Every structure is written in structure tokens, then in C-alpha cells.
Amino acid sequence: MGWAIAVHGGAGDIPLSLPPEKRLPREAGLRRCLDVGIAALKAHNHPLDVVELVVRELENNPHFNAGKGSVLTTSGTVEMEACIMDGKTMKCGAVSGVSTVVNAISLARLVMDKTPHIYLAFDGAEAFAREQGLETVEMSHFITPENIERLKQAQEADRVQLDYTQPIQKEVPKDAALADGDSQIGTVGCVAVDNEGNLATATSTGGIVNKMVGRIGDTPIIGAGTYANHLCAVSATGRGEAIIRGTIARDVAAVMEFKGLSLKEAAAYVIDQVPRGNAGLVAVSSTGEVAMPFNTTGMFRACATEDGYSEIAIWDSPTK
């Protein structure tokens, strides 16, 4: 037993040639968040508080696709979503279509704690945030120049893909890394377990670049991008549509329960079922195991366990 924590900053087609100015800030961000989470666990904070805290850090970091630094919709706006779940009580909270709330994960937590519901979205979620006195800002706060550029490139790629006079461009796969070396997809998440086996998970995202206004991904869907029960806590990342149809987060726990697999085996099994290049996840079990499998080129991730093990990685072996 013993506590364990795992964090991710998004899985995707992260090219091995990612330049240092893009790689280093994210590694530093992961390191910082891991430290924050570890300190909180060592101070005996409940995993629910730990995962919320860590995800808030990631949301505030403009290098990740959540909170500040969220990717943009096709209209150039920000629509954030987040989800949190407590493994022991199975209580959960989720929000979508949030555009002014500084920390969507905290709003999701309030939905869980302060309403009879699980999931609030768009205007209703924003109104609830104000009612609860959560910090809100102008939407421009979340928008970074990199994301404006990403949106431009994605819209260009879309347009170019339809332009049959440019056959070379037509061969570019839809999810290819953009010219600046960044993946189009990403999310942030954190899972944690304390040494009493209390589990929690939290996930937050801006969605996918150039998404339709109103598009909801896997992150706020319990069982898809986020799930925790008495066995494990899971946070997934990747192409939302694939994670939804694969009920990824739920399946890790289901496979552990119904097939008796270990966390690592279950997580690897579930990721294997998803078409290559589409998903990754971080998970911890009630007994303090950690798993961080992905079938994409890379996944920004970090983990630590009470026995002193810790790791920060982007690429390396696909199943860990």
C-alpha cells in the first residue's frame, strides 16, 4: 500500500523532434505539479483535494490544454470542461462549456458538493459559478498566441484538405502534428490514492482545436474520460470521440473487477482496444499501483509513489 499519484498533460502525436522551448516548460510544469501533489498527499490531504489542487495548477499553466492555454473552438472562443470523481463514495461532478471560470475543475467540484446534480453546462454552469463566487475573468485570459496560431493552422489544413489542386497537402493525415510541432489534442488530469485506499480522479481540458462550438468531449463524461471506484481512479486523454465509444475509464475498473487483471494489465488491455494514436491514460489502484499506458506517439506524464519512485516522461515505452 502507500500513496500514489499520477499526472498527465495530454497524449497525442507529440513529435520526437519537439523543440526544447516547447518541451522544457511542460516537463517543468509536470514536475511542479507532481511536487504539489506529493506534498499534499504527505500532508494527509484527501485525494479529492489533491487531484483538484494539481489540476488547478495545470489549468493555470498556459503550456497545457486546460484553463489558460486551452485550445480554441472554430469560432476562436474557449469552451472548457472538467470532471472530478471520488472513488469511495462514487460522487462526481462535471462541467462543460465554461468560458470565464478560471478553474473549471473547482466548478466541477462545487457541482458535486453543492448541487443535487452531477453535470452542469454552458450558461447554467457559468451562472452557478457566479452564484458560488468562483473566480471569473474575461475569456481572453485563457487565450494564448500559440492557440490562435494552432487554430489558424487547423483551419488552413481543413481548407487545404478540401482543395484538390494541392494533392501533396491532401496526404497530410487529419491528426498530424501541426507545423510548430505540437499535437492538436491534449487534456490534463490527475489521479491519486492515499495510504487508506481512498481514490480520486480529476480531468480538465479545452477540448480539440477547431472543434464545433458546443462540442463536448470525453473529459466530462463519467466512464469515458474520468472514472473512479473502490478499485482504481482513471483519467484519460486523446481523441474524445474514441474514448467515449470505448468507455475507457470505466473499462479499466471493469476489467480489473470482472477479469481479475492487475491495474497495469487492465490499463494496457483497455488502451490496446482503442485504435492506435487515439488514447492514453493515467491510473492508480487502491493498493498504490500506477499505470500510464498510451498508444499515441507520446503522453506528457509524471507519477510518484510513497516508496520513493518517481518519473516524468513524454515518450518511451508505450505501456507502463
Partner 1 sequence: MEASIMDGPKRRCGAVSGLTTVKNPISLARLVMDKTPHSYLGFAGAEEFARKQGVELVDNEYFITEDNVGMLKLAKEANSILFDYRIPTLTTCGGSAAMENQLQMNGLPISLYAPETVGCVVVDKQGHCAAATSTGGLMNKMTGRIGDSPLIGSGTYACDLVAVSCTGEGEAIIRSTLAREVAAVMEYKGLNLHEAVDYVIKTRLDEGKAGLIAVSKNGEVACGFNTTGMFRGCATEDGFMEVGVW
Minimum gap (Å) between residue 269 Cβ and partner 1: 10
Among 42, 44, 159, 245, binds partner 1 (CB under 8 A): 245
- Of the two residues 5 and 228, which places its CB atom closer to partner 1 in the complex? 228
Task: Specify the stretch interacting with partner 1 by CB under 8 A; choose among 60-68, 94-102, 142-150, 194-202.
Answer: 94-102
User: Which 199-228 residues touch partner 1, going by CB under 8 A?
Assistant: 211-217, 221-224, 227
- Of the two residues 269 and 315, which places its CB atom closer to partner 1 in the complex? 269
186 annotated ligand-binding residue: no
239 annotated ligand-binding residue: yes
31 annotated ligand-binding residue: no
User: Which 150-169 residues touch partner 1, going by CB under 8 A?
Assistant: none
Total site size for partner 1, rule CB under 8 A = 43
Among 48, 55, 92, 192, binds partner 1 (CB under 8 A): 92
How many Cα atoms within 13 Å fall on the side-chain side of residue 114?
A: 14
217 annotated ligand-binding residue: yes
109 annotated ligand-binding residue: no
Order of strands across the sheet with 232-238?
A: 226-228, 232-238, 279-285, 290-291
Question: DSSP readout, 129-173?
Answer: HHHTT--B--GGGG--HHHHHHHHHHHHHHHHHT-TT-HHHHTS-
The single residue of 73, 187, 205, 296 carrying the catalytic annotation is 187
Q: Does 127 bind partner 1 (CB under 8 A)?
A: yes
Cβ(303)–Cβ(31) below 8 Å: no
Which residues contact residue 54 at a Cβ distance below 8 angstroms, ignoring those fewer than 6 apart? 5, 7, 33, 34, 36, 37, 40, 190, 192, 202
Give the residue carrying C-alpha cell 493498493.
287
- Of the two residues 106 and 305, which places its CB atom closer to partner 1 in the complex? 106
Pick from 312, 201, 210: nearest CA to 249: 201
Among 9, 12, 47, 240, binds partner 1 (CB under 8 A): 240
Contact letters (x/-) for partner 1, 255-294, by CB under 8 A? Answer: x--xx-----------------------------------
142-175 in b/e form (b: 16+ CB < 10 A) is bbbebbeebbebbeebeeeeeeeeeeeeeeeeeb
- Of the two residues 64 and 128, which places its CB atom closer to partner 1 in the complex? 128
* Burial bucket for residue 25 (CB in 10 Å: 0-12, 13-18, 19+): middle
Minimum gap (Å) between residue 26 Cβ and partner 1: 26
187 is an active site residue: yes
User: Which 96-115 residues touch partner 1, going by CB under 8 A?
Assistant: 96-97, 115
Cα separation of 49 and 46, whole Å?
A: 5
Minimum gap (Å) between residue 56 Cβ and partner 1: 22
- Per DSSP, the three-state class of 5 is strand
Minimum gap (Å) between residue 79 Cβ and partner 1: 8
Which residues contact residue 296 at a Cβ distance below 8 angstroms, ignoring those fewer than 6 apart? 11, 12, 13, 14, 183, 238, 276, 277, 278, 279, 280
Cα separation of 107 and 81, whole Å?
A: 10
For the annotated catalytic residues, the residue numbers are: 187
* Chain contacts with partner 1 (rule: CB under 8 A): 90-92, 94, 96-97, 115-125, 127-128, 211-217, 221-224, 227, 240-241, 244-247, 250-251, 254-255, 258-259
